[in-house]
């Protein structure tokens, strides 16, 4: 970066908030994807703006001198959305971390973009309110990152994803204008849905600086159960039948045999290591309704051939059941050091077909692929286990991922349910969207960001 531009940037945010040294900058080039973040060089600067106004000045400068800007929260995305390159300025948004308002009467909250998701959740839960989106990263990820990736989580089938809760955003457009999208109301149809357009746009259409979300009342109670199946098809059929019976569980986590074995090996819960699938199911809502719901699920699972059904009778027992799910990734890390989580998403009743395809792909490429799924919404986390030092294995992993993605599209699914496209899946996006869809995306990107300043390289506009 030219010294005079660096000086201008320092004037905007203050010298203390600009990193220039190689080691300092190196801490901000990665994300949680498996992309080799160092191979594209270190960014020219890492900058920590403290306000929308500062972001606006920085973006105007970027247009003037034509340098790319990569907005970044905690870098927890797994899609390569915030991997940097050598000429970029990294915009770390974590300084803007105030919870601005929790409006209990109207059940809304407004936060700055750098607020950690779990912190918002904890604060609203203290007041009897509930912000449902629960990405696995919620203890570290920022609300801005959640907006950028339209983060989901296990509760998606019942409660939806980030998109379903964001009412309004403060956004700095790529050309520097600070706008307010949407309205702080429960309904709004005044003009194009710019809020929705920003959500999931992965930092390419604007830099979000404030987020207003709607909240729900905290459910009165919840109940948890663990159901074991000797056949994945039966487990999937049980999932379908539960919904058909009119019960919508808050979570319905499916773990396959590879997960079960790895978890049992690690935490010794007495899981049946020969089982093909377990379902970890949680229902929540009015306390009086939960008993009948659990009973209904139990009957359905038994009818579908469950080999065991364990209902937690109190919070402590529920917590023990959740140990299996919570230790899942750590358990796999003991098997292989490199874990790559996919998130192909299909219709609920395509789960067995998709899992069969994943197994065939694992065999074909001679790699280990475990499957964990948010079964209620068909969001399957095919989890590839490898050792990144083994170049041959990594090549096979890459082949397997490619085939998982094309197979997902073949069964009518989407490349990504909740992780985003990023730099990881960009080459597949045209297969899903077609030339017309790609053209529309590029036109929108060019319209809002004519100099392609914001997070270039995702294939959305370039």
Q: Tell me which residues in 269-328 interact with a second copy (CB under 8 A).
A: 285-286, 288-289, 292-293
Residues 4-63 that bind a second copy (CB under 8 A): none
Indicate which single residue of 207, 254, 429, 453 sits in contact with a second copy (rule: CB under 8 A): 429
Site for a second copy in 366-385 (CB under 8 A): 374, 376-379
Specify whether the CB–CB gap between 440 and 165 falls below 8 A: no
Count of chain residues binding a second copy (CB under 8 A): 95
Q: In the window 322-361, what residues touch a second copy (CB under 8 A)? A: 345-349
Question: 270 or 435: whose CB is closer to a second copy?
Answer: 435
- Contact stretch for a second copy (CB under 8 A) within 115-123, 238-246, 265-273, 325-333: 238-246
For a second copy, give the closer residue by CB, 197 or 339. 197
Smallest distance from the beta carbon of 211 to a second copy, in angstroms? 16
Among positions 116-145, residues that touch a second copy (CB under 8 A) are 128
State the nearest-atom distance from the C-beta of 331 to a second copy, in Å. Answer: 25
Residue 243 interacts with a second copy (CB under 8 A)? yes
Q: Which of 42, 201, 251, 257 binds a second copy (CB under 8 A)?
A: 201
Q: CB 391 → a second copy: shortest distance, Å?
A: 29
104 forms part of the interface with a second copy (CB under 8 A): yes
CB of 202 to a second copy, least distance (A): 8
100 scored as a contact of a second copy (CB under 8 A): no
Indicate the residue among 161 and 312 with the shorter CB distance to a second copy. 161
**Nearest-approach distance from CB 72 to a second copy, in angstroms:** 18
Encoded tokens for 216: 């729900």
Is residue 259 a contact partner of residue 331, using CB atoms and an 8 Å limit? yes
Residue 159 binds a second copy (CB under 8 A): no
Least distance in angstroms from the C-beta of 197 to a second copy: 5
Taking the complex as a whole, how short is the minimal distance between the CB of residue 175 and a second copy, in angstroms? Answer: 9
Contact string (CB under 8 A) for a second copy, positions 437-456, x = contact: x-xxx-xxxxxx--------
């Amino acid at each position: 970066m030219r010294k005079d531009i660096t000086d201008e940037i320092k004037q905007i945010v203050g010298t203390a908030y600009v990193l220039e040294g190689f080691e300092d900058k190196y801490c901000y080039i990665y994300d949680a994807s498996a992309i080799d973040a160092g191979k594209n060089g270190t960014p020219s600067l890492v900058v920590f703006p403290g306000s929308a106004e500062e972001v606006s000045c920085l973006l105007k400068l970027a247009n003037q001198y034509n340098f790319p800007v990569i907005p970044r929260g905690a870098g927890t995305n797994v899609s390569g959305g915030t991997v940097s390159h050598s000429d970029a300025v990294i915009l770390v948004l974590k300084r803007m971390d105030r919870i601005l308002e929790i409006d209990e009467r109207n059940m809304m909250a407004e936060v700055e973009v750098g607020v950690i998701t779990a912190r918002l959740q904890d604060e609203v839960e203290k007041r009897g309110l509930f912000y449902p989106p629960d990405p696995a990263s919620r203890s570290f990820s920022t609300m801005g990152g959640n907006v950028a990736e339209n983060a989901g989580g296990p509760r998606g089938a019942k409660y939806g994803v980030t998109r379903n809760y964001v009412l309004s955003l403060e956004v700095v457009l790529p050309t520097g204008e600070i706008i307010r999208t949407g309205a702080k109301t429960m309904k709004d149809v005044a003009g194009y849905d710019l809020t929705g357009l920003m959500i999931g746009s992965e930092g390419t259409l604007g830099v979000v600086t404030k987020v207003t979300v709607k909240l729900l009342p905290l459910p009165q109670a919840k109940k948890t159960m663990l159901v074991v199946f000797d056949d994945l098809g039966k487990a999937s059929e049980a999932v379908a039948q539960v919904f058909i019976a009119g019960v919508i569980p808050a979570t319905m986590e499916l773990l396959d045999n590879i997960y079960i074995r790895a978890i049992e090996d690690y935490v010794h819960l007495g899981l049946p290591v020969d089982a093909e699938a377990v379902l970890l199911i949680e229902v929540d809502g009015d306390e009086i309704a939960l008993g009948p719901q659990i009973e209904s699920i139990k009957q359905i699972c038994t009818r579908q051939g469950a080999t065991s059904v364990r209902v937690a009778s109190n919070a402590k027992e529920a917590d023990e059941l959740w140990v299996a799910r919570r230790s899942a990734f750590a358990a796999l890390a003991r098997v292989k050091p490199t874990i790559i989580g996919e998130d192909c998403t299909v219709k609920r009743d395509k789960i067995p077909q998709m899992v069969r395809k994943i197994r065939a792909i694992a065999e074909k490429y001679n790699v280990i692929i475990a499957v964990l799924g948010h079964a209620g919404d068909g969001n399957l986390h095919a989890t590839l286990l490898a050792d990144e030092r083994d170049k041959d294995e990594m090549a096979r992993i890459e082949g397997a991922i490619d085939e998982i993605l094309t197979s997902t599209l073949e069964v009518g699914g989407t490349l990504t349910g909740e992780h985003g496209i990023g730099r990881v899946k960009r080459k597949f996006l045209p297969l899903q969207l077609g030339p017309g869809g790609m053209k529309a995306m590029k036109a929108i990107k060019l319209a809002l960001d004519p100099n392609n300043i914001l997070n270039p390289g995702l294939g959305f506009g370039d």
